[in-house]
Every structure is written in structure tokens, then in C-alpha cells.
Amino acid sequence: MDIGVLEQHVLLAIVALHPDAYGVSIQDHIQRRAGYEPSIGSIYAAVDRLEEKGFVKSRQGEPTRERGGRRKLHFTVTAAGQSTLKESLRAITSLQRGLRWRELSA
Amino acid sequence: MSKKNMERELLFCDNHVLTRADIDHIIDTIKNSPPHISIAEMQKYTVSPEARAVLTEAIRRFEYERVKPVIRKRVESQINSITADPLPPAWAASVLTLLAGSRRAEAAIGDLNERFARECTEVGPSRARLLYSVRTVRSIWPLLQRVLVKVGVWAAIISGVKRYFAG
């Protein structure tokens, strides 16, 4: 397992948005759910890393007028990506157990 | 007509605005020009106060009889500038193409264009253009980091191979 926070968020967004996960929809999803807006560049950089690791696959869509004739790049999570994501979520859940917030803030 | 005369004519004509026929012509021009938009919708697209003022005045003062062809030309050119599709800043596409691979750059530019088209109707073209530029600038560093990492990896591989054959 080797994924950063943004990569984890991008993977979660791709899974949630399947089969319509592309730059803008991923950005909107993260903004809605996580409360911050990653730049398009950081999303593509994260997806690039994930694709290199074999966690994500991409396919080109059709060009549309509102996109200035540019094609969308649709993303899907591979089986390896899904198991890595599950593992990272399990690790977070496990790390959360036994946290004592009051003592930390005092 | 000389340039000076033309300017004088324009100034003169500005005081006399348009007839009903001209208003109909304006409305037809708007309706028939792509993208198809109504006057009400056009108000959203009109960001230039000058263009908006010309159109508002044209609608308000259609009872005026006097028409000058030069006004018609001027109004037409302004309407064309209003109804033409607003364009995002061109430099952004070059920067993204330079930093991302061709497929990713195309998709990233398309994403920015999609937001731009949405924001043009929400906040107007000039603000949408500003947001487009801000988004592009925010995208530079993460993409540049990727390029630097890739260059670093290749440099390490090449120096490793060189060392292997030298040793």
C-alpha cells in the first residue's frame, strides 16, 4: 500500500462516480464531500501516479462543444486499486480506535 | 468618408439612436446568431457596460425616427461581439500542453473549458476568464513536480547505466 491523501480521495471519488469519473466531476465530488478544491493539475498528477502503480485505468471519451472540442478522460479503479483503497481505509479505521481527543486538546 | 468625419458622424449619431426597424433588426440578429439566445439571456452574457448601454438604450428609445447606416453598422458589430462565444485565455492551453502529456493536457484543457463555459453564464466572461487563469496557475506546480520526478528517474537510470558500463 503506497497512496497519499489526495490519491486516496481521488480513488474514492472515482469509485463513487463510476462510470462518469473525469477531471471536473472528481474535482466537484471532492469539493462537495471533503470541503476543498484540488486543482485540475493536482488531480491529473495524482491520477498519473495511480495509473503508474496500476490502480487506475483511463479511456478517452467523445469531444463536446462545451469543452472546446476536447475529449474527456474517464477513469476507473482496477482490482489492485480497489484492494489498496480498502486496505488504506481499514488502516485509518484501525488507527482511529483508541484515540482520546479530549486529552490531546487539553 | 475620412476617419475624422466618421468619428464626427458616430458622435452625432450617438445622440439619435434607433428606429423600431433597427430594434427588430437587432432582435433578429440576436435570435439568428449562434448561440441562440433571447434578449433576457443576452443580458447575462453582456459584460461590457458599453454594449449593455447601447442595447438598453436601443430598446428604450425605439420611437426615434432618424436612422443612420453608420449606427446600424456599429450596433451590429457590438451585437456580434456580445453574441460571439467568449474564449478562455489562450496561454493556458500552451502551458498545460507543455507540462502534461498530450492526452492528459487535452483532457485538462477540456475540463477547464467546461468550467469556463459554466462560469460564463454564472459570473460573466471576464470573471470566468480570471478564474480560468487562476485554475491554470494552480495546476502548474503539481504538473511540474511530476515532470521533475520523471526527469529525475530517467537521469538516475541513465547515470546508473553509465556507471555500470564504466565500472
pLDDT of residue A28: 96
Cα(first)–Cα(last) distance of chain B, in Å?
83
The highest-level CATH class for domain A5-105 is mainly alpha
Which residues in chain B have their CB less than 8 angstroms from residue A60's CB?
A: 103, 107
Between chains, do B139 and A70 touch, taking CB under 8 Å as contact?
no
B66: confidence class by pLDDT, cuts 50, 70, 90: very low
Each residue's pLDDT tens digit, B138-148: 999 998 988 89
DSSP code of residue A72: P
Name the range with the highest mean pLDDT among A54-58, B19-23, B91-95, B145-149.
A54-58
Cell of A43: 488531480
Q: Report cis status (omega within 30 of 0) of the bond before B86.
A: no
Average pLDDT over residues B121-150: 89
Cβ contact A33:A42 at 8 Å: no
* pLDDT for residue B116 is more than 70: yes
B140: chain A residues, CB-CB within 8 Å: 41
Burial class of residue B157, CB neighbours in 10 A (0-12, 13-18, 19+): exposed
Calculate how close chain B gets to A16, using CA atoms only, in Å.
19
Average the pLDDT over B101-125 and give the result: 87
Q: Return the axis-axis angle of helices A23-34 and A5-17, rounded to nearest 10°.
A: 110
Across the range B23-35, mean pLDDT stands at 53
Residue B83 is placed in which grid cell?
A: 453574441
Q: Which residues contact A59 (CB under 8 A, 6 or more apart)?
A: A73, A74, A76
Residue A15 touches chain B, beta carbons under 8 Å = no
Give the C-alpha separation, B92 to B99, whole Å: 11
Residues 6+ apart with CB under 8 A from B35: B83, B85
Can you give the pLDDT of all 106 residues of chain A as single tens digits? 589 999 999 999 999 999 999 999 999 999 999 999 999 999 999 999 999 999 999 999 988 878 888 899 999 999 999 999 999 999 999 998 888 877 665 5
What pTM was estimated for this model as a whole? 0.65
Residue-range domain boundaries for chain A: 5-105
Bridge partners of A57, per DSSP, are: A76
| pLDDT at site A2 | 80
- Residues sharing a CB contact under 8 Å with residue B17, sequence separation 6 or more, in sequence order: B57, B58, B61, B64, B71
> For position B12, what pLDDT does the model report?
35
| Confidence band of B36 (pLDDT split at 50, 70, 90) | very low
CB A23 within 8 A of CB B107: yes
Instruction: Give me the count of residues in chain B.
Output: 167
Say if the Cβ atoms of A67 and B114 lie within 8 Å: yes
- Cell representation of residue B65: 425616427
- Please provide the average confidence, as pLDDT, over all residues in chain B: 68
User: Which residues of chain A does B108 touch, with a Cβ-Cβ cutoff of 8 Å?
Assistant: 23, 40-41, 44
Question: Which residues on neighbouring strands pair with residue B162, listed in sequence order?
Answer: none
